[in-house]
Structure 1
Amino acid sequence: MSTSSPPPSKTDSPAAAPLPGQPTSKGSWKRGRWMVLFLALVCAAPVIASYLTYYVFKPKGGTSSYGTLIEPQRPIPPALMVTGDDGKPLRLASLRGRWLLISVDSSACDKACVTKLYFMRQIRATQAGQRERLVPVWLRTDSAKVPDVIREAYPDTGMLIADPAAIAKWLPNDAGTTMVDHIYLVDPNGNLMMRFPKNPNPSKIKVDVTKLLKFSGIG
């Protein structure tokens, strides 16, 4: 006597075919997600590297930078006005878009003042193809005439008149110093980022500036 096979159960029925483009297994779906994450990390690597270099990896006994990092960063005050050679007022924040090396001194510009202007000029000159991204700025604390010899020696330095009281509220200084003792660095977003010490080593300032220009220029 012949016997018939039992009817197939629901569990024996073949699985529905995957739709076009749909992962064929959970493993494929997980691999796809990891690949997307990997690509995102590769794209973000330059930004991550710059933050790690300056804020995480620090050699024993000190930080990774010569200058003192300003934390939290201080944006240029929106109301801080300066006056150019044309006598017209402008907001200092309008200089955003490039890195600024800032020095503060009276228009008479003594030996220490000239030394800072020289350092800023030379640091900019050593940046080669990146030099146009860096602007030296001299914030003058009075409206007296700048000596011709200084004006002629530093034609690429912005010489702007500013209210010293307003500048002092923005620019911090080390203990036992004043703002005229320092060179400051402002990033292209207008944030005060770094303060260099009194009587600085220009070669070490150059190293910091070169790193920042390199990392911020990637991507």
Structure 2
Amino acid sequence: MTPSPESSAPQPLGLTVHSLPSPQDLPAQRTRLGRWKMLAVLLVCAAPVIASYFSYYVIRPQGRSSYGVLVAQQPAMPQLQAQRLDGSAVPLTSLQGQWLLVSVAGGACAAACEAHLYLQRQLRESLGREKERVDWVWLVSDAATPAAALQPALAQAQVLRLPQAQIQAWLQPEPGQALEDHLYLVDPQGHWMLRWPASLNQASAGRAKRDLDRLLRASASWDQSGR
């Protein structure tokens, strides 16, 4: 069958024009995409920590309670310069990478201060092989020099001098208590997350150790010993 002249004639080419994003919209789209990517990375990094705290504080056997008080906001370690006892400067954030048992007291270190230092050392030693994941820290809150008799006992401690006002901007006591009345626990990422009661002593140290044991077990999947 011979095609008609009309059907064999060239047909006009049809074009469909799609709208394109204006150049002004592109930076905003890239910014939103970058924010979502950054949020996803932060969530991936924080997930193990969140999971360990969730399993410790929420998914736990009925009737089990912690002796220490969980800090709701969990303040991050401030970017401050501390001093060693020899006067050399060191960033406070150099302590990150370990669980930290922290006490605060002036350099004169009265009886309550000595009792806390003893408890810190004993709690760490009682952890056995897990003790390498924990450091004990004394934040000296004034310019006084610790007695020479304390030096041998502090050989395994991290002793840093930091002004009282700077410490109080990070760690806080219970209402009605002084900063020096407590031991504080800081996680390896530098977040203050637990405060033990001012009544903590040798008789109740076993309850504080149970808190530590459970936290170390819960964080074993993401926390390794040593910085």
TM-score range, shorter chain: 0.7 to 0.9
- The alignment status of 1:108 with 2:103, answered yes or no, reads no
* TM-score normalised according to structure 2 size: 0.70
Per the alignment, residue 67 of structure 2 pairs with 66
- SS of residue paired to 1:205: helix
Given that 2:182 and 2:197 are in contact with CA atoms closer than 8 Å, whether structure 1 keeps it comes out as: yes
Please give the per-residue CA displacement for 1:92-121, whole angstroms capped at 9, x wherever unaligned: 112100000110001110110000000000
Deviation of the 1:85 alpha carbon? 2.8
Instruction: Write the letter of the residue equivalent to 1:54.
Output: Y
Percent identity, aligned pairs only?
A: 35
Write the mapping of 1:91-170 to structure 2, written as runs, cut at 5 A.
91-170=91-170
Please, which runs of 5 or more residues in structure 1 have no aligned partner?
1-43
Given that 2:56 and 2:214 are in contact with CA atoms closer than 8 Å, whether structure 1 keeps it comes out as: no
Instruction: Write the letter of the residue equivalent to 1:89.
Output: A
In structure 2, relative to structure 1, the CA distance for the partners of 1:104 and 1:46 (3 Å cut) is: closer
- Which of 169, 190, 214 is 1:211 aligned to? 214
Per mean C-alpha deviation after superposition, the further-off stretch among 186-195 and 140-149 is: 140-149
Deviation of the 1:188 alpha carbon? 0.2
* Bigger fraction of residues in strand: 1
In structure 2, relative to structure 1, the CA distance for the partners of 1:216 and 1:45 (3 Å cut) is: closer
For residues 83 and 46 of structure 1, what CA distance do their matches in structure 2 show? 30
- SS of residue paired to 2:192: strand
Deviation of the 1:215 alpha carbon? 1.6
CA-atom RMSD in angstroms: 2.2
Please, which runs of 5 or more residues in structure 2 have no aligned partner?
1-46, 223-227
Per the alignment, residue 75 of structure 1 pairs with 76
Per the alignment, residue 44 of structure 2 pairs with none
- SS of residue paired to 1:64: coil
Instruction: Write the letter of the residue equivalent to 1:196.
Output: W
In structure 2, relative to structure 1, the CA distance for the partners of 1:46 and 1:179 (3 Å cut) is: closer
Paired residue total:
173
- SS of residue paired to 2:169: helix
